[in-house]
Structure formats: C-alpha cells, structure tokens
Chain A
Amino acid sequence: MSAIAAPLPTVPRESFLTQGYTIGSWLGTRDHKRIAILYAISITLFFFLGGTAAAIIRLELMTPQGDVVSADTYNKLFTLHGVVMVWFFLIPSIPATLGNFLVPLMIGAKEVAFPKLNLLSWYIYVLGGIFTVAMLIAGGVDTGWTFYTPFSTMFSNTHVVLAAMGVFIVGFSSILTGLNFIVTIHRMRAPGMTWFRLPLFVWALYATSLILVLATPVLAMTLTLMVIERVLHVGIFDPALGGDPLLFQHLFWFYSHPAVYIMVLPAMGVVSELITCFARKRIFGYRFMCYAILGIAAFGFLVWGHHMFVSGQSVYAGMVFSMLSMLVAVPSAIKVFNWTATLYKGSIVFTAPMLYALGFVGLFTIGGMTGIYLATLAVDVHLTDTYFVIAHFHYIMVGGSVMAYLGGIHYWWPKVTGRRYSEAWGRVAALIIFFGFNLTFFPQYLLGYLGMPRRYHEYPPDLQVLNVLSSAGASILAVGYVLPLLYLGWSLFKGAPAGPNPWNARGLEWATDSPPPQENFREVPTVTQEPYAYDPEHPER
C-alpha cells in the first residue's frame, strides 16, 4: 500500500449537467444523458401512481368483504395499476433510463444514432401519459390491462378509448427507443469494441430492442382494431358479426408475452454488471450468456398461447405452446447458473447494488420456476387466473426487474450525479424491500393454489389470513420504496464526490468523469480488453 493518500475526488466543474441550467436546455436537449434523466423523473412519478393504486387494492383485500371501495372502483384500480406499471413504468424503466444513459458510454460512442428521435420518444411517452392521466381523471377504465373483448368492445361503459389511445401512443415511444439502440449498437461502437467485447448490459438491451421494435407494432394495431370495433361496431372480434374473441387474445398476447421479456432482459443485463463488479470476477460463460439473451428474445415470440390454455383454443395448440414454453425457460436457467458460478472464487462485497443483484437471482429463480408450473398444462388449468399467476409475475417483475432497476440506479448513481449515496441506508432499504416483497407475494402463491381468483375484491373468509400477511408486506415494501427517494435525493446536495470510478469497475462508462462531459469522452477510446477484466485475487486493482 502506498504511504501517500490518493487525492480526494471532486465533482468536475464541467459536465453534461452544467451545459445549460434552464428548463429549455433540458426540454430541448439532444443529450442522451439528459433524456435519460427526463425519463427517470417521469417513470418515477408513474411508479408512485401505480403504487398508490396497489396500496388501495391491498387495503381493500385486508378484509373478505368489499368494504373500502365499490366493485367498480376496485376494477378501475387494478386496471390502472396494470396499465401504468406495465407501459409507463416497467417497459421504459431500464431501457429508457439506464439504457439511454449508459449504452453510448459503454460502447465508447458520444451519442446515440438518432438524438432527435430520442427526445421525440420522451415527448411521445409524456403524451401517452397525459392521455392516461386524462382517462383517470375522466373516470378510469375497468377492463383490466388486458382489454379482453367483448367486454372492452361491447360491455364496458368506461373510458376504454382514452386508455387505449394512451397505450397506443406510448408504444411508439418504445419503438423509437428500440430502433435507436439497435442502430447505435450496430454502427457506433468504438474502435476495438467487437460484439464479444460488449458488456452483457449492452447485449441485453440489444435483444430487448429487437423485441421492442417487432412486438410493439402488433399491440398498436390490435388496440386500433379494438377501438374501431367499440366505436363503429364493425370488426373481427365480435361473434355476432362472424368474428372471434379469441383472435383478440392471440393478437394481444403475441405482443404481451414478448413484452415481459422486454421487462426482464434489461434487468438481467444490469445484474451481470453488478455481480461481476462486486465479486471482482469476470462473468462465467460469457458467450453462453450472450446466446441465452438472444435465445430468450427469440423463443419469447413463440409462446404466447400459454396465456390461453383454458380459453377455448384447441388442445393441440395448448400442447405446442406448453412445450415451447418449456424451451424458453432453459436460457433463463442457464443465466442463473452462470451468475452463481461467477461468485465462485470471487471476492465479494455486499454493497447495496450487490444486495439487489443477489436478491434478483433468488427471486427471479423462484418466479421462473413457478413459470414452469404454469407452463405445465394440467396444472395451469387449476392455477391460471388465480393469485398464483399474480405471485409468479410479481416475483419476476418486482422481485426481479424492479430490484435490478434499483440496483442499477444505486450502482450508476455516482456516475450520473457525481455523488455517492449513503451505503448504510442503501443496504437498509434493500433489505426492507427484500423482506417486504416476500411477505407481500409469497402468500399469494398459496392463495392461488387454494383457489382465490384474480381481480376479486371479495373473497371467501378463510383466505383472510394470507391476504392480511400480503397487505402487511405491501406496507413494508412501500416504506422500502420511499427510502431511496430520500437518501438518494439527499446525496444530490450532501453526498461525497464520487470521482470517475468509485467502484473501481471495468467498463468504458467508468473511464470518463462522473458526471460525464457532454460528449462522453474527451478522446474516443480504443478497446483492447475482454469485458469484466477483474482479478479476484487482487480486488483493489
């Protein structure tokens, strides 16, 4: 160890944050880093909107009777929760915030391929959000986030059209983000940054972008057809007109199943970055991880019918989709094993990001395994449309994606802001979230097996104990989610300066200042190393 202390890091005087302080400089920016921050603020607002709906739902479910809100209000609440959390939080979360900020940095580029389209995507997101809030203020929608026909086209008397328009519009935000990433990653990598030197976060976002651009247009057109049928009473879903309600389900799930991989693949990318850095070890099986990412994206398009095993689709279709669903589970399993193997002979520290990453691995494993239950035909008959499914997807989307998102926020917080946050509070929040999450959602697996259907605001009395446990967990989870707002916000003013590389991490984003200059790198780097060139025997290097 050197006897002379290294100089304390300082926040650089000039960075992308200092290039203009006016609102106009933010609202008219073409800087991918500023756009990422605009997205981060917007999705946080929507997260708490969707979270408030969830809080009221869990409050209602503390008692078997429907005594907090009316049935119609409850139906609007779970619809709002789904619509907001899926389209206005989860789908944009990691790609549009962490992805927008980091992809050019990680590949050594100074910008994305289409900066103006990037800003446009944020404005489109905001416009979609305005439609959704308008729908909420006008009285809400009660079809469920899945908009099944004929309830949505012929029977609901709520603001279906407004809601569909909000989702339709925000879909284009997704498409533009995905398009930008694909072209950026293909064309703007720094010299020496070959495909197999890319960080797994970039691979994950690349695969996510493929899904974004190919699946989202299907949703757009499906919602259009639904709205046309609702408004004009012609269409293809109404059996009285010779149409088929199941056609809607096929079209809807053709998008919505790949959509769940949009929500989880970026999270897997984040986890790979966190585990390698905090175990000081290169990822185990890098190439298999890349192929697994691509495999998840590809197979994800082939399994949509597993949402429809009891819908009236043919038995043979059910068998095909069940088998394909088993195939899509395999690459996810590969990733879990590879992350575990990465820990072997590593040098592990349990920072807040690492706690989130380990939490992801555990909770994603449980959620993924319950996916096998649901992919198994005869078992799905009993479990589908019950709380088992709700527990399954919340384990993956909240226990998985949200935890990875938070882990990434903490990990890259010093890079974005130039400040360190309180590591002690970070760990406390991570543990509260982990505990609160499990208390909220594990009982729901049991509720589902015992036969409690979803979208119910009343339930048989002897299921109350499990529901109360779940609601108690939700209140703890809420505390866990509010804490980061507080200590991260505090760090903006009082946090210690971070310096370019507070974690001593590998990756091009750490080779520039924190916060980075507007053009990202003062000189374009040339890449000569494999990714994750860590040495667990010498963690300080």
Chain B
Amino acid sequence: MNATKGWILPAASDVAHRVDHLLFALFVVTGVTAIAIAIVIFVFCLRYRRSAQVDRSNAPANKRWLEYTWTLTPLAIFLAFFAWGAVVYAGFYGNAAGAMPVFVVGKQWMWRLEHANGRREIDQLHLPLGQKVRLVFATEDVIHSFYVPAFRIKQDAVPGRYTELTFTPTRLGTYDLHCSEYCGTDHARMGGQVVVMRPEDFARWLAGGGTRPTMAARGFETFRRLGCSGCHDSRGSVHAPDLNGIWHRVVHLQDGRTIVADEAYIRDSILLPKRDVVAGYEPIMPSFAGQVSEAEILDIIAYLKSTTPEPR
C-alpha cells in the first residue's frame, strides 16, 4: 500500500509543507551552484586543454579577495539554511497545547498504538484531519524509529525514556509507516499505515470497536493490582506521597532539586524509585522494573493524569 505517485511524495502534514519548502530551496541553491561549478570546470577543461592555443600568461597563484568571497558567501548561505531549518525543527517539539495524544510503543517487530480512550491498534494509526496530534513514543526492547515519510516526521523510540513529536495531518489518505532505526531481523517488516480520516469519520471509528476500558480506567486497574494504592492512597498507613493531582505538580526532591511531574518523572518513579526521592520521605518504594510493561506504565500515567481536576 503506497501513497507515492512516481517521484512525488505527498505532503500530508503541516510540517511536511514547511520541510518541502526548505528542501526545495536547498535543491535550487545547491543545484544551481553545482551546475555552475560543473560548467566552469567544463569550460576551463575545454578552453585550457593542452592542445589549445590560448593566452595562459600571468596565471594568478592566489587572490585574497576571491578567497574571502568564496569563504564568506557559502558560510552565509549555509548559516541561513541552518536558521531556517532550526526554526522548522523547533516546531516538531513545540507547543502541544490542545493536541490529541497517542501513545506509541514499539517492540520487535511491531508498533502498538493507543488512543486516550483506550482504542488500540497494531501497525496502523487512524488520525483525524486537521487535529494537532502529540505522539509519545516508548519501546519495550531496542531503539526503533517511527517514520511517516508523507508527514516528514521521524522520531526514535529509545529504551528508558519517552520521546515525543507534535504535528497536524493536513491531507486525507493512507500513508506508509516505517521503522527507520535498525532493530534486528524483521526491521524491514516493522511498518504499517497511517490513515487520515475526516473528523466525523474518525470520531465514529474511535468510538467503535466494542466497549473497552479507557487507558485511564485500565491504569487504575493496574494501579490497584500492583499494590500502588496500598501505599499511595491518602488513607494508607505508609507514609508515601499522595498522587492525586500529581500531573504537572511541582515536586521538591530530597537533594534540593525541584522538578515538574511529567511522564518521564512518573515512569522513573515506578522503575527507578530511589533516584528522585521526594523531600521528607524515606526511599522505601520498591522498583517495579520487570513487573510492569511500557504499555501498563502509559496506562498508569493516563490514570494519574485523570486525577487532576483540569486536564492539561
């Protein structure tokens, strides 16, 4: 299943258009320069070939002004492209306000994608047209990379952390999804499709597929099953931080640092609880590494987010 038509790759996201403009500019500038250099070399080779009787006197050995010109001009052009590229790049990671989150877990050799309402997909991602999307990536094993050429987006999923990307699909259609970080035997088969639908079709799709618990509901289940509520419930006997409303709360740590509770903090607290101990608490929380999967951690995060009165 493919969306390329000959040599044209559709530009199906807001960033895709910006990247294509930049690419086109690069192509024109470098193309013109390369052709110009080629023409000059060709002309010199022709005109000054050994058998040609031309004036070769006073050939210069250097010209300062020429050297400075062809040093500073490329430098200026390159730095201009740097600046333009940096601005567009910052847009990949910027402002996620109002974005619809989708949680992506890569594992050898498939993609598991989960929408906030709990609807899951394997190797397929349905998205609504014109809605800003925030993809959060995790991996169960090795480094993978989520690549949708038509969107011009790519992001590595790295073990031990979350990475993310924000963009808006701008074109209906079905587009290729590839894994683009070598990950073992079936790296080349770890792909799928992204389907961009009209918002009303997407809403219907999202609600369809039978009843299932939302991520937050599943997270609450896991939170109880693993015994988290035993200590972290405000009525519990163990002195442990109350997690109600934890999302984006300012947390003061034992070593004097202050951080904001985000996805990475919650994940680290579950897997490496001795690392960022909250001030005033003993480091007695056991690690749940090996007992909880990446998907379950994402569910727990969704649950904890839901305990915040106002979603952010």
Contacts and interface: CB of A to CB of B under 8 A. Distances in A.
Nearest to A151: B142
A311 B180 contact: no
B57 interface: yes
A334 B70 contact: yes
Contact of A348 (B1, B45, B158): B45
Given A326-B81, A378-B18, A239 B184 contact: no
Given A348-B45, A361-B41, A378-B18, A148 B143 contact: yes
A318 B56 contact: no
Given A151-B183, A385-B181, A376 B61 contact: no
B178 interface: yes
B154 A385 contact: yes
Interface string A70-94: 0110010000000000000000000
Contact of B82 (A322, A337, A347): A322
B89 A318 contact: yes
A349 B49 contact: yes
Nearest to B109: A71
Interface string A334-369: 101110110111111110000000100110011001
A524 interface: no
B70 A455 contact: no
A415 to B, nearest CB: 22
A42 interface: no
B179 interface: yes
Contacts of B61: 282, 284-286
Given A327-B75, A330-B71, A459 B188 contact: yes
A319 B88 CA distance: 11
Interface of B, helix, strand, loop or mixed by DSSP: mixed
Interface string B42-65: 001100111000011111111100
Interface in A293-336: 309-312, 315, 318-319, 322-323, 326-327, 329-330, 333-334, 336
Contact of A340 (B37, B159, B188, B275): B37
B132 interface: no
B9 A372 contact: no
B45 A343 contact: yes
Nearest to B60: A284
B259 to A, nearest CB: 16
**Most A C-beta atoms less than 10 A away, residue of B4, B66, B93, B188:** B188
A136 B176 CA distance: 35
A311 B74 contact: no
B50 A349 contact: yes
A312 B161 contact: yes
B152 A382 contact: yes
B84 A376 contact: yes
Interface in B72-130: 74-75, 78-79, 81-82, 84-93, 108
B147 A451 contact: yes
Interface in A460-489: 460-463
B184 A381 contact: no
Interface stretch (B26-34, B202-210, B235-243): B26-34
A272 to B, nearest CB: 14
Given A346-B59, A369-B30, A451-B176, A72 B82 contact: no
Contact of B188 (A318, A370, A456): A456
A337 B81 CA distance: 21
A345 B48 contact: yes
Interface stretch (A4-12, A113-121, A174-182, A240-248): A240-248
Nearest to B157: A312
A385 B180 contact: yes
B104 to A, nearest CB: 14
Contact of A536 (B30, B56, B108): B56
A67 B23 CA distance: 35
Contact of A245 (B18, B66, B108, B160): B160
B289 A240 contact: yes
Contacts of B270: none
B7 A381 contact: no
A20 to B, nearest CB: 42
A284 B275 CA distance: 60
Contacts of B86: 318-319, 322-323, 377-378
Given A72-B185, A245-B143, A326-B79, A382 B154 contact: yes
A166 B147 CA distance: 33
Interface string B163-182: 10000000000001011111
Contacts of A235: none
B37 to A, nearest CB: 6
A148 B34 contact: no
A379 B149 contact: no
A536 B19 contact: no
A343 B30 contact: no
Contact of A376 (B26, B152, B159): B26
A449 interface: yes
Nearest to B43: A343
B282 interface: no
Interface in A434-453: 446, 449-451, 453
A285 B56 contact: no
B85 A330 contact: no
A446 B88 CA distance: 22
A385 B156 CA distance: 11
A358 B41 CA distance: 9
B288 to A, nearest CB: 12
A286 B64 CA distance: 11
A530 B248 CA distance: 69
B249 interface: no
B251 interface: no
Nearest to B150: A451
A312 B189 contact: no
A388 to B, nearest CB: 10
B2 interface: yes
Contacts of B59: 281, 344-346, 536
B285 interface: no
B184 A449 contact: no
A362 B41 contact: yes
Nearest to A382: B152
B27 to A, nearest CB: 8
Nearest to B27: A373
B217 to A, nearest CB: 28
A239 B161 contact: yes
Interface of A: 66, 71-72, 75, 142-144, 148, 150-151, 154-156, 239-240, 242-246, 279, 281-282, 284-288, 309-312, 315, 318-319, 322-323, 326-327, 329-330, 333-334, 336-338, 340-341, 343-350, 358, 361-362, 365-366, 369-370, 372-373, 375-382, 384-386, 446, 449-451, 453-463, 536-537, 539
Interface of B: 1-2, 4, 7, 9, 15, 18-19, 22-23, 26, 30, 33-34, 37-38, 40-41, 44-45, 48-50, 55-63, 66-67, 70-71, 74-75, 78-79, 81-82, 84-93, 108, 141-143, 145, 147, 149-150, 152-156, 158-161, 163, 176, 178-189, 271-272, 275, 289
Given A312-B163, A539-B50, 14 more contacts: A71-B186, A71-B187, A148-B181, A244-B160, A245-B143, A312-B161, A326-B82, A343-B44, A345-B59, A373-B26, A378-B87, A453-B179, A455-B182, A462-B4
16 contacts: A75-B182, A156-B184, A286-B61, A310-B145, A312-B163, A333-B74, A336-B37, A341-B66, A345-B55, A346-B48, A370-B30, A378-B84, A378-B87, A382-B23, A449-B23, A450-B9
The 7 closest A-B pairs by CB, nearest first: A239-B160, A451-B149, A378-B88, A377-B89, A376-B85, A345-B59, A326-B78
